[in-house]
Structure 1
């Protein structure tokens, strides 16, 4: 039967790029994964999740295991809406859409807002998972650089003005990570948040505000969300992955009633795992969230500091980076002539993984950057991993010098 099998042409919208991030990292047990942008498995609230799971079954199982679920989904929506007030977001429960992780929220927003050929503007660097989604939507992607205060909004404004003057397409969507950027680690200033929201109204585009690390603030205060300055033209996204566990697979979107209705239509009458939502709702009864969050903050802040100290010891002034005030990542800037992708194999051979900067750009750039994550590994592994990373870099430099 297989001898008559014809080649099958898959649609162009199916992503053809190889996986990046943790999916690409070596599976060797001796490789320290500084590429993993994931929470520490030791930080999950196991005992409370066990109790919450049992309660979901024994108290609400008959309904929680049905399509519509029990009371859990409503309680989760209410918690999200109330918690969002910390970021100056004032939304009704019906403006909250719970999704299978924030990645699905990005997908649903893309489907709701974009036609093939529409323009999406992103940061440079940016999150490759979002870029993959926009490419699948057959969008035209343009990027704008970051600095220490986030995306350079003045360049965005100039590009918008020039697009109008020259009769070029305006963006339908601008994707932005305002807090503890992945991979850049920077946060968008309040002044730029307000300007960006004002531009969205003036030029009639949506902002997709991806705020996955919002709760993990190591220094300073919560900043107001971009959404707070433009609720009719911003869709706010976040996730339980970084604050409970990624295996729960629950994220959310907050937006106007109209845009949430459009996004919700892709569920075709269903909901994101109502049983997982029931577990999370029960977890709120078994867990002091503020104490749990403080434990996470102390753990990740300590891990960040270990990585910062070890990087300084190993590299001195040869590598530049900004110390992130939250999130999971440190974004390294090497001298311009360095190509970090050329010592990925050296690093694996030394027993450590990292992500080269070029993977975070939509154009051929970023070759002298690298992303390290301090969230997944313990302090000892972070120290050993940075030492191995530095040794891989030295091997690369020696090879380049010999070749020249």
Structure 2
């Protein structure tokens, strides 16, 4: 579980005053913005021992371009591990990458040409949206509800686009488990139907499963890949469980796509020494124990953040409690600028991400904010949510004065 957290204390009489737009965040700001894992739960000592063991066992081979045994060890471990999500793949379908981010970039480079169309959930992960734009593709956000992508709408839009002789998407990008930023989980029946649409319309699904291991309720669901392995590129990463600084992710893809991705990486695995360390670690490390520790901590922080948001903001916001992952997705009432709330919150000591960054150009963003509960302890979460609520109240007061 988390390191024992102190009782939180903060000044309930805090007064938030407007300051200049150029003001920077305070040095002691609470970071509820980026999706970082809990620092105190990163396996520093275990990785330190694994690094020494890799050098002792592999010697100079661990430092060469192709690495030593660790490259194959990580591959074998990952292919076995992914069976829990219904993924049965061979070595030729596997590719180690610099985190899931490189997997997204490689998929975009392999599959997309300028002028192609990518459909995404709305909202969706902003780095993926940027990758598709940089590839010259048009991104179109599809409706999502409390259960993720509205597959009914996707099917209707595919049917109508084809009937009108329009351009079908080359790719549909989804985050089925504990979606970033909304926290939604795509039900199994929608996953199966989405896979069927990929087959029927000869398009690809890019399945980003960065948070799949971090489930706090319910049971694991089959991956979209498991329903149509010839049409799905599956991505996952060690960033959320062992540490983002490792920059180590996994792609599982159809053979023709995997081969083209491998060409773009010049047939060189990412950071072979990192693979040596992780490969050595996974031979003896209790990875399931690490997942249990993370899940216990994040479940407690999620519940605590939800409690503080309800206490501090009441009916000013709505949100759903995710079954896993890192984020709460707050929806404010119409007419409230979440971007302005985020600005005021930053100036008064809490960093959050305004929702506009998670939408494509075809959507007028509703007033959303994303909060991350994984990185900060309960004392920091309490202080941050309190400052966020104060910023919201300040904005409402300013709007009333302007009427």
TM-score range, shorter chain: over 0.9
Q: Secondary structure at the match of 1:347?
A: helix
Partner of 1:213: 211
Query: Counterpart of 1:299 in 2: which secondary structure?
Result: helix
Q: Which residue of 1 aligns with 2:401?
A: 402
For the residues of structure 2 that align with 1:369 and 1:250, how far apart are their CA atoms? Answer: 31
Of residues 351, 373, 376, the one that matches 2:349 is 351
Q: Which residue of 2 aligns with 1:241?
A: 239
CA distance in 1, matches of 2:267, 2:92: 15
The DSSP-based 3-state class of the residue aligned with 1:317 is helix
Once the two structures are superposed, the pairs formed by residues 73-92 of structure 1 within 5 Å of their partners are 73-92=71-90
Where does 1:20-35 land on structure 2 (aligned, <5 Å)? 28-35=26-33
- 2:220 maps to which of 219, 222, 232: 222
Separation in structure 2 between the aligned mates of residue 26 and residue 83 of structure 1, nearest angstrom: 44
Change (3 A) 1:321 1:158: same
Q: Please tell me whether the aligned partners of residues 24 and 347 of structure 2 are also in contact (alpha carbons under 8 angstroms).
A: no
Please state how far the C-alpha of 1:95 moved relative to its aligned partner: 1.3
Give 2:369's aligned residue: 370
Q: CA deviation at 1:403?
A: 1.1
Q: Deviations over 1:4-63 (max 9, x none)?
A: xxxxxxxxxxxxxxxxxxxxx966421101112111111101110110111122211311
Aligned residue in 1 for 2:386: 387
The equivalences for 1:30-179 within 5 A come to 30-179=28-177
Offset of 1:367 from its aligned partner? 3.8
Aligned-residue offset at 1:136: 0.5
Q: Secondary structure at the match of 2:250?
A: strand
1:198 and 2:187 aligned: no
Where relative contact order (Cα < 8 A, 6+ residues apart) is larger, the structure is: 2
Counterpart mapping for 1:305-344 below 5 A: 305-344=303-342
**Counterparts of 1:381 and 1:197, CA distance in 2:** 41
Alignment of structure 1 residues 246-261 onto 2, 5 Å = 246-261=244-259
Please report how far the alpha carbon of residue 140 of structure 1 lies from its aligned counterpart in structure 2 after TM superposition: 1.3
2:301 to 303, 308, 332: 303
Query: Contact 1:217/1:327 (CA < 8 Å) preserved in 2?
Result: yes
Q: Please give the alpha-carbon distance, in whole angstroms, between the structure 2 residues aligned to 1:382 and 1:388.
A: 10
Counterpart Cα distance in 2 of 1:233 and 1:162: 21
Distance 1:275-1:115 versus aligned 2 partners, 3 A rule: same
1:265 deviates by 0.7
Q: Alpha-carbon deviation of 1:269?
A: 2.8
Distance in 2 (alpha carbons) for counterparts of 1:190 and 1:184: 18
Aligned-partner Cα distance in 1 for 2:78–2:285:
16
Q: Whole-Å Cα distance in 1 between the matches of residues 113 and 248 of structure 2?
A: 26
Q: Is the aligned partner of 1:268 residue 2:249? A: no
Deviation at 1:80, TM superposition (A): 1.0
Per-residue displacement from partner, 1:76-106 (whole Å, max 9, x unpaired)? 1111111111111111122110000110000
The answer to whether the Cα contact below 8 Å between 2:119 and 2:173 also exists between their aligned partners in 1 is yes
Post-superposition CA distance 1:226-283 (Å, at most 9, x none): 0011100000000000010000000111012221111111011322111101100111
Question: Structure 1 residues 211, 102: closer, same or farther in 2, change over 3 A?
Answer: same
TM-score, structure 1 as length reference: 0.92
- Distance in 1, matches of 2:99 and 2:25, equals 24
Distance (whole Å) between structure 2 residues aligned to residue 176 and residue 26 of structure 1: 34
CA contact (8 A) 2:352 2:369 kept: yes
**Number of residue pairs the alignment of both structures matches:** 380
Residues in 2 aligned to 1:316 and 1:93: alpha-carbon distance in whole angstroms: 51
Judge which range, 89-98 or 296-305, deviates more. Answer: 89-98
State whether residues 354 and 371 of structure 1, in contact with CA within 8 Å, keep that contact through their aligned partners in structure 2.
yes
**Deviation, structure 1 residue 286:** 4.2
